[in-house]
Amino acid sequence: MLKLKNDLVTKNKQKGDKMKKKVNYKKSILKILGIILSLLILWFMGNQFVKNWNDIKPYLSNMKIGWFVISVIMYAIVFLLTGYNWSYLLWKMDSKLGKIDYLDIHMTSALARYIPGGIWNIVGKAYMCTNKGVDKTATTVSMILEYVFQIISSTLFLLFFIPILLRNNANSFWIIIIAVILIILTVIFIPNIIKVGIKIISKLFKDSTGEIKLERKYTYNILGRYVGVWLLTGIGLIILVVAFSKVEVLQGIYLILSYPISWVIGFLSPSPNGMGIREGVLGVLLGDTYNYELLLLITLTSRIWTILGEIVAFVGFKLVYVISKRGKIK
SS3 256: helix
Is residue 284 domain-resident? yes
Q: What share of the chain is helix, strand, coil (3-state, %, to 5)?
A: 85, 0, 15
Q: Is residue 28 a part of any domain in this protein?
A: no
In a domain, 154, yes or no: yes
- Which residues, including other chains, have CB under 8 Å from residue 177's CB and lie 6 or more apart? none
Q: Which residues contact 171 (CB under 8 A, 6 or more apart)?
A: none
For residue 27, is it within any domain? Answer: no
Cα(147)–Cα(264) distance, integer angstroms: 9
Assess whether pLDDT exceeds 90 at residue 22.
no
In the prediction, which pLDDT does 77 show?
95
Q: Would 313 be classed as within a structural domain?
A: yes
Which has more confidence, 40 or 140? 140
pLDDT range class, residue 182, cuts 50, 70, 90 = confident
Q: What is the pLDDT of residue 330?
A: 46
What's the pLDDT band for 295 if we cut at 50, 70, 90? confident
> 87: closest CA among 133, 142, 132?
142
Q: Which segment, 24-33, 46-55, 109-118, 299-308, is predicted with the most confidence on average?
A: 299-308
Q: Can you tell me the distance from the alpha carbon of 299 to that of 283, in angstroms, rounded to the nearest whole number?
A: 6
In a domain, 207, yes or no: yes
Task: Kindly state the average pLDDT of the residues 233-254.
Answer: 86
Judge whether 239 and 99 are in contact, CB under 8 Å.
no
3-class secondary structure, 245: coil
Residue spans of alpha helices (H) in 57-135: 65-93, 99-110, 120-131
When divided into structural domains, the chain yields a total of 1
The residues, ordered by sequence, that sit 6+ positions from 251 with a Cβ below 8 Å of its Cβ are 241, 289, 290
* Residue 270 phi, psi (nearest 5): -80, -5
Q: What pLDDT, on the 0 to 100 scale, is given for residue 68? A: 92
pLDDT for res 87: 92
More confidently predicted of 4 and 278: 278
The percentage of the chain sitting over the pLDDT mark of 90, rounded to a whole number, equals 13
Query: How high is the pLDDT of residue 23?
Result: 46
- Domain containing 126 equals 62-329
Q: Is residue 47 in some structural domain? A: no
Considering 79-83, 87-91, 212-216, 322-326, the range whose residues carry the highest mean pLDDT is 79-83
Answer yes or no: is 187 within a domain.
yes
Candidates 190, 273, 195; CA nearest to 226 is 190
Mean pLDDT of the chain: 77
